[in-house]
A and B are shown apart, each in its own frame.
Chain A
């Protein structure tokens, strides 16, 4: 059974702080790793993808991947109240559907 694990939260951070979201996965054959943001009542929105070990930065977002530890994380710098949402970690192999974690709820207080 392929699994993706996330802490459900809620993770609460003050505005301007760094939010750190973590995810582990069970399938060592996973090749692609994604972070989706989902606002309440909306569909998931892709915010980051990462495919090789190391860090990938895009604006305030940094994704980190460690395949040896089967671990992927998302850092959000200078957190804003508009970042308050559920963040879903997803993994897959090429040509297969995504496997999602249960999501971490982030709350950024102003």
Chain B
């Protein structure tokens, strides 16, 4: 399994500010995924980040609110912009093991509270 380091593990932010979450993988991966898990809910895919191209966003998520960078094959960031209390969630990055079939592994998650 891939070792995925995600930080910060938690943060409390003021509304209107932004938070950038970092995800570092110990090996090169083609695709990285960002998920949101709202309280008591399952995981919802925000976007898929490929190195060298713009992220692909799922319905209901836009680049202005959730800008993503993918500068190389081992690193990605997700920024949650213009924070509101509704953004309070756990954010998770995920990678797939190279090869087929694919298995996905998660970082430790970032628990965001917006006050």
Chain A positions near chain B (C-beta within 8 angstroms)? 31-32, 34, 41-46, 49, 51, 88, 90, 92, 94-95, 97-103
Contact = CB atoms under 8 A, between A and B. Distances in A.
Given A42-B109, A43-B109, A95-B31, A102 B104 contact: no
Nearest to B1: A46
Interface residues of B, number: 23
B45 A43 contact: no
Please name the 9 residue pairs, one residue from A and one from B, whose CB atoms are nearest each other, closest first.
Answer: A43-B109, A102-B42, A43-B106, A100-B43, A100-B42, A97-B33, A97-B45, A32-B101, A51-B101
A45 B48 CA distance: 20
B100 A94 contact: yes
| Chain B contact residues, majority secondary structure | strand
Contacts of A98: 33, 43, 45, 94, 104
B31 A101 contact: no
B103 A43 contact: no
Given A97-B48, A102-B42, 15 more contacts: A32-B102, A34-B103, A42-B109, A43-B108, A44-B92, A49-B103, A92-B102, A94-B100, A94-B101, A95-B102, A97-B33, A98-B43, A100-B42, A100-B44, A103-B42
Contacts of A95: 31, 102
Interface in B80-115: 90, 92, 94, 100-109, 111
